[in-house]
Amino acid sequence: MPKTDNMLAILWILRSGKKVTAKEISEKLEMNIRTVYRYMDTISISGVPVISEPGHNGGYTLLNNFIEAPLFFDSEEQTSLFHASVFADEAGYYGGEALHRAISKLRKYSNQEQETKINQHVTSLEVINRLSPHSMEPFLKELQQAVADGYSVTFLYCKSGEKQLNDRLADPYKMIYWNTKWYVIGFCHLRNDIRSFRVDRMESLMQSENKFNRPENFSARDFFTKSLLPTIEGKEEIISLVISGEKSVLADICQHWFLEHYLQERTSNQAVFLLEKDVLHTYVPYLLLPYNKSIQVIEPRSLKERLIEVLTELIEFHQV
């Protein structure tokens, strides 16, 4: 183990706040006790406030204010980092390998009591994510590097509902993880406008030699949210959608990522939404049909008629 790692390991042992002897350190780290003495001298010379008490009941401790230094994490902070790594791993985070190395260091330099407590918390959490058809880690790493360095990227892109791949040149401004999918937001040279691209629909990604400057105060979150959830302000045909149903089912509908944005009023057995006419008749029927008979559309009548149309089309399609 490198010298710096050995000294860091000793600091983690001392961080427990308990008095520890050179013999205990040598046994835990499997090194000669004389080597421990040399490391302790080096640590003290570097400015770390090590308290050395000689004698039968002596040992080493650290000053309390140094124990609270940002270099160290308490058990709650360590648990949070472990949990964050679980979420990141399931999200397909491109820095997973480096994150695992960092987490392994936390384990390695924790004392037995700390490790036992951490394991109790870590094993209590599991994250289940949708299975991905292929690993996007190479794409995500390259995109992240292009975003950080300010280089344009070229790639082949397949839009939703299309089979043909199109050549694209884009300036990647930021990356977004939303609803189990990775996106990159940037300036599309083909469309001459800012666009969002789903990473799992990209192929043959390459970083170009073209540099770009990201617009000041650009918010990928705001752009992405507005593209998903168009505002109803200033729109002419706004219609009230009134739904009644069981309390738990209504709660689920009102928390839907799309519908919750347009919720206006909610009672124990009824919810009122304001939506643009085209959106109401195009998308909402497919959002409501899975709830079967547990909800009822009170108004508008036009949506009831649209639901019947959609169901009729499905019946005709599946008839043998």
Sheet containing strand 181-188, strands side by side: 193-198, 181-188, 166-178, 151-157, 202-211
How many other CB atoms are there within 10 angstroms of residue 51's CB atom? 13
CATH of the domain at 299: 3.30.70
d(Cα 297, Cα 301) in Å, to the nearest integer?
8
- For the chain, give the percent of residues with pLDDT over 90: 38
d(Cα 305, Cα 289) in Å, to the nearest integer?
13
* Statement to judge: residues 90 and 59 lie in one domain: no
* Statement to judge: residues 146 and 213 lie in one domain: yes
Final residue in a domain of this structure, among 220, 249, 282: 220
Task: Please indicate whether residue 70 or residue 298 has the higher confidence score (pLDDT).
Answer: 298
Calculate Rg over the CA atoms of the chain: 29
105 in any annotated domain: yes
What's the confidence (pLDDT) of residue 312?
Answer: 94
269 in any annotated domain: yes
Look up residue 311 and give its two tokens. Answer: 């169901």
129 in any annotated domain: no
* Statement to judge: residues 62 and 35 lie in one domain: yes
Range of the domain at 97: 75-122
User: Identity (one letter) of the amino acid at 201?
Assistant: R
* Statement to judge: residues 152 and 176 lie in one domain: yes
Look up residue 155 and give its two tokens. Answer: 């790639």
pTM of the model: 0.64
Final residue in a domain of this structure, among 188, 220, 252: 220
127 in any annotated domain: no
Task: Please indicate whether residue 26 or residue 96 has the higher confidence score (pLDDT).
Answer: 26
What's the confidence (pLDDT) of residue 153?
Answer: 96
- Nearest Cα neighbor of 171 from 234, 215, 118, 122 is 215
CATH of the domain at 147: 2.30.30
* Statement to judge: residues 89 and 143 lie in one domain: no
What's the confidence (pLDDT) of residue 290?
Answer: 93
CA dihedral 153, 154, 160, 166 (to 10 degrees): 160
Name, of 99-113, 137-151, 219-233, the range with top average pLDDT.
137-151
Final residue in a domain of this structure, among 220, 247, 278: 220
233 in any annotated domain: no
What's the confidence (pLDDT) of residue 128?
Answer: 74
Residues 6+ apart with CB under 8 A from 142: 153, 205, 207
What's the confidence (pLDDT) of residue 147?
Answer: 93
In a 13 Å sphere around the CA of 47, the CA atoms on its Cβ side amount to 0
* Statement to judge: residues 274 and 314 lie in one domain: yes
- Tens of pLDDT, residue by residue over 287-296, are 999 999 999 9
When pLDDT is averaged across residues 24-35 and rounded to a whole number, the result is: 89
- The alpha-helical segments, DSSP class H, found in the chain are 3-14, 22-29, 33-45, 64-67, 75-90, 96-108, 112-122, 137-149, 220-228, 247-254, 277-282, 284-288, 301-318
- Tens of pLDDT, residue by residue over 116-139, are 777 777 778 777 776 555 567 788
Is the per-residue pLDDT at 113 higher than 60?
A: yes
* Statement to judge: residues 142 and 210 lie in one domain: yes
79 in any annotated domain: yes
Is the per-residue pLDDT at 276 higher than 60?
A: yes
Domain count, the chain: 4
CATH of the domain at 35: 1.10.10.10
227 in any annotated domain: no
For residue 208, what pLDDT band results from cuts at 50, 70 and 90? very high
How many other CB atoms are there within 10 angstroms of residue 80's CB atom? 13
* Statement to judge: residues 251 and 297 lie in one domain: yes
- 171: part of which helix (H) or strand (E)? strand 166-178
Per the DSSP assignment, residues forming a β-bridge with 188 are 170, 193
231 in any annotated domain: no
* Statement to judge: residues 42 and 113 lie in one domain: no
What's the confidence (pLDDT) of residue 299?
Answer: 94
* Statement to judge: residues 60 and 89 lie in one domain: no
Is residue 88 exposed (0-12), middle (13-18) or buried (19+ Cβ within 10 Å)? middle
